[in-house]
Structure 1
Amino acid sequence: MNISTQELAADHTERFGQQGTSFSAPARVNLIGEHTDYTGGFVLPLAIGFETTATISPRTDRKAVLYSSNFDEQVEYELDAMPQKGRGHWSDYGMGVVWSLAKDDIKTSGFNLSVEGNVPLGSGLSSSASVEVAVAMALLSLAETEIPGEKIATLCRRAENDFVGAPSGIMDQFVITNAVAEKALLLDCRSLEFYLLPLRPDIRIVIANSMVKHSIAEGAYRDRREEVEAGQAVLSKMNPQIKLLRDATMDDLKQARGRMSDASYRRCRHIITENARVLEARSALFGGDMRKLGDLLFAAHISMRDDFEASAPEVDKLVDLARSLPGCIGSRITGGGFGGCTVNLVEAQYADNFAEQLKLRYKDAAGIEAEIYVCEAVDGAVARAKAGE
C-alpha cells in the first residue's frame, strides 16, 4: 500500500523546478470506540498501511501552491490574504492546516506542495486526517519548528473542525500522528493520555470496504452529533458532575430518559456502553483473550446499528457474512458510519481465504464488488519522520 516517495519527489522536482522533502502519514482503522471521542471518551484505533505523502519545497514569494496528483489539479493562494473558511475543495485540508498553524503563530514562507494519497475516499479510514497530518509535518519542517505529536493532532483537528467544517473528534488525527507499529493505541480523548497495547502476531486486521460512500462533513453525522450533545446537556443539567457524556453511567441516563428525546437517549446509550466496551477490550488485549475481544466487536456493531442508527444494509451484510466464515473472531462497522468499512479480527492462517470468500459472498448477496484489505499496524507520522521515512 506504500506510495513511492522517490517517484513523488521526482515528479515534484519536474513540476516545480526544485527538490522537495517528503513526509508521509498513514490511514487508520478503529478497532472499537465509535462516536466516543467528541464526548471525552475512549477509543482503540491503530494506523494501517494506506498513506498520504506530502512533498514540500520553499518559494521566494508569499504564495502557497498546492498540487494534488489524485485530482490532477494545481491551485494557489496568497498567504497574506488567507481564507478563513474552506470552499468545499480538496485544497481545504491543506490550507486548513496552514490556517491552524498560523493561529498558533507558526508561520511559513511561501511553498510548493505536492500531495498524493491512496487512502480510499469516503470509506471511514480517515483520508482527510491523513492529508492534514502529512501536510502538517511538511509545513513544520519548512518552518523549522518541532512540536509534540499531541499538539500536531490538535492543530490538525482544529483545521478540520473550524476551517473545513467537519465536526470530527480528536481520534483520527491523534492516532495517525502518534501510532506505533504492531500496537493498538488506547486514547483517553479528554486528557489525551494514551497507552500502546500489544496486538497478537497470529491475528490479522481485515478491512472490508462496502463501497457505499459517505461524507461526514454533512447530513446524518451532524444530526447524530447534535442528538448526542442534546442528551449530554440534559445529563449535565441534572448532575453538574457530568461535564461530558464520558462521566455518565447507564443509571444516570435512565434517570434522565424522560427529559430527552428517544433519539438522544439511544445515541447516549450507545456511547456510554461503547466506552465500557473499549475498556473491556483493553483487558482482553492485555490478557490475549481474542474471543472476548471479538464478542465486543460484534456487540459494538449491534449498538451502532440499533442505538446510533449509523450503519447501512450493505455494511450489516458484510458483518453477517464475516461471522459465518472460518477464522473470524469479530466484526463491526468502523468509521463515522452510514456506509464505509467493516473491521474484522481474523486468525492469521485464515486471513487470505477469509478475504477471498467475503468478497465473493458479498458480491453474490449485494451485487457490489467490495475491496478487501489484509492489514497490519504501522507507524504514525511522527515515528516515520524520526525514521526518515
Structure 2
Amino acid sequence: MNANLIERTEDDFVAVFGRSAQGVAFVPGRVNLIGEHVDYNDGLVLPMPVREGTAVAWAPADHGEIAVRAANLDESDRFAAFEPSRLTETDWRSYARGMVAHLDLPPGTGLDLLVRGDLPRGSGLSSSASFCVALGRAVSAALGLDLDARTLAKAAQSTEHDWAGVACGIMDQMAVAAGEAGKALLLDCRTLDYEQFELPSDWAVAIVDSGVTRGLVDGEYNLRRQQCEAAARKIGVASLRDADRAMLESAELNDLEFKRALHVVKEIDRVEKATQAIMAADLSAMASILREGHASLRDLFEVSIPAVDQLFERIENVLQGRGAARMTGAGFGGSVVVIAERAALPNLERDLDRPVRPVF
C-alpha cells in the first residue's frame, strides 16, 4: 500500500470537494516478468504488482452524477452514471466513463471521486489498467457492491476495447486486480485461474525506465493481435495457445505471421520454465529465460526499439551474469525489467547513472 500517495489523495479530495473522503481505493501498476503479447492468445503470463499505482478517494454525493477530478492533470469530468455519453477524442475521461458504464450503475447515482497516481505514463507499467480497476474498486466500495478481481478486470478490459479502441488481453487488468505484493502471478489468460509465487529472498526485481515514452503502441498492438489471429485461423486452432512449432511449420503462414506465432508459442513455454526457475530458486535459469524473451520480442515480434535494446545491453554488461533484463510491456519504449541478485542493484544504479526502482 502506497501510504504517501493515499494521504495526498485524501488531502486533494478535501481541497476539491470541501469535505473528507469516506474511503480510498489503491491499485498498483504491474511489471510483467515474462509472457509478453500472449494474453490475447489465451496464453500464460507471469506479472507482479509494483509499488506505484493509482489511488481514488470517494464519497457519495447528492447531485446525482459521477464527478471525477484527475489531480495529476488538474482536470475534471462530470457525467451520468447510467449510460454516460461518449467523447469525440479518447483521453482519461474515456476510461472513467467506460469503467462506470461497464459497472451498470443505476440512474441517479451520485459520487465524488478524486484520482491521483504515481505511475509514469507511457512507461509500460499499465497505468490505464491501474486507473480503471482503482476507479472500479472505489465505486464498488462507495455503493456496497461485492465485485471480485475477475469482475473488475473484465470491466477494465472491456473499457479498453470499447472506449479506448485498444484490443488488449486481460493480463494487465488481472495482474493489478489480483496480484499480491512481492509475488509473481501465474495467470492462465484463457480460464483466468491464477496462482501466486513468492520470489526467493535474495532475488530483486527492479524497473529501469528507458526514457522513451511509448509511442505508436495502440495501432501496432492491434496489428500484432490481427497477425496472431490470422496465423491461428490458418493453422486451424482457436488461438495460438493451442499451437506448437510443428503446426506453424506445416501451415501456409506468411513470414510475419510465422514470426509472430513463433514468439507466442515459445513465450508461453518460457512462462512455464520461469515458474519452475522461481520454485527452484534458480537465478541462472531465470536470467536465460529473460534474455531469450527480449531477443524474441526484438527479432520475432518486433516491438522493441534501439534505445531499449541499448539499455538492455548496458544492464547485461553491468550485471555480468548476476541476473538479466528484458523489455516489458507492449513495446515501442517504456521500461526494462531486471531480475538479479539483490546485492547487485546498488552497482547497477551507479553504473547506469539512472534510477533503478525496486518492485518490492
- Return the TM-score normalized by structure 2: 0.95
CA–CA distance in structure 2, aligned partners of residues 292 and 246 of structure 1 = 23
Corresponding letter in the other structure for 1:94: A
Task: Structure 2 unaligned segments of length 5 or more: list them.
Answer: none
The reply on whether 1:52 has 2:54 as its aligned counterpart is yes
Instruction: Tell me the alpha carbon deviations over residues 197-239 of structure 1, each in whole angstroms, 9 at most, x when there is no partner.
Output: 1201111112111111125663222221211111111112xxx
The reply on whether 1:331 has 2:332 as its aligned counterpart is no
Percent of aligned pairs with the same residue? Answer: 32
Of 341, 349, 373, the residue aligned with 2:357 is 373
Find the counterpart in structure 2 of residue 82 from structure 1.
Answer: 84
Find the counterpart in structure 1 of residue 221 from structure 2.
Answer: 221
Corresponding letter in the other structure for 1:218: D
Find the counterpart in structure 2 of residue 366 from structure 1.
Answer: none
Find the counterpart in structure 2 of residue 202 from structure 1.
Answer: 202
Find the counterpart in structure 2 of residue 12 from structure 1.
Answer: 13
Corresponding letter in the other structure for 1:375: V
Q: CA deviation at 1:106?
A: 6.8
Instruction: Tell me the alpha carbon deviations over residues 99-129 of structure 1, each in whole angstroms, 9 at most, x when there is no partner.
Output: 1111xx6777111111000101111100111
Find the counterpart in structure 1 of residue 117 from structure 2.
Answer: 117
Instruction: Give 1:233-312 correspondences, 5 Å limit.
Output: 233-236=233-236, 242-256=237-251, 259-312=252-305
**Would you say the 8 A contact 1:206–1:372 is kept in 2?**
yes
CA–CA distance in structure 1, aligned partners of residues 222 and 87 of structure 2 = 18
Residues 371 and 95 (structure 1), Cα distance of their counterparts in 2 relative to 1, 3 Å cut: farther
**Would you say the 8 A contact 2:12–2:71 is kept in 1?**
no
**Would you say the 8 A contact 1:311–1:339 is kept in 2?**
yes
**Would you say the 8 A contact 1:3–1:53 is kept in 2?**
no
Find the counterpart in structure 1 of residue 26 from structure 2.
Answer: 24
**Would you say the 8 A contact 1:294–1:331 is kept in 2?**
yes
**Would you say the 8 A contact 2:182–2:359 is kept in 1?**
no
**Would you say the 8 A contact 2:185–2:197 is kept in 1?**
yes
Q: Secondary structure at the match of 2:266?
A: helix
The reply on whether 1:39 has 2:29 as its aligned counterpart is no
Q: How many residues align?
A: 357
The reply on whether 1:348 has 2:342 as its aligned counterpart is yes
**Would you say the 8 A contact 1:208–1:342 is kept in 2?**
yes
Q: CA deviation at 1:46?
A: 0.3
**Would you say the 8 A contact 2:305–2:333 is kept in 1?**
yes
Greater displacement, 307-316 / 145-154: 145-154
Q: CA deviation at 1:320?
A: 0.7
- Return the TM-score normalized by structure 1: 0.88
Corresponding letter in the other structure for 1:194: Y
**Would you say the 8 A contact 1:270–1:307 is kept in 2?**
yes
Find the counterpart in structure 2 of residue 165 from structure 1.
Answer: 165
Find the counterpart in structure 2 of residue 95 from structure 1.
Answer: 97
Q: CA deviation at 1:3?
A: 3.5
Corresponding letter in the other structure for 1:191: T
**Would you say the 8 A contact 2:217–2:332 is kept in 1?**
no
CA–CA distance in structure 1, aligned partners of residues 100 and 121 of structure 2 = 22
Query: Cα RMSD between the aligned structures?
Result: 1.7
Q: CA deviation at 1:330?
A: 1.5
Q: Secondary structure at the match of 1:88?
A: coil
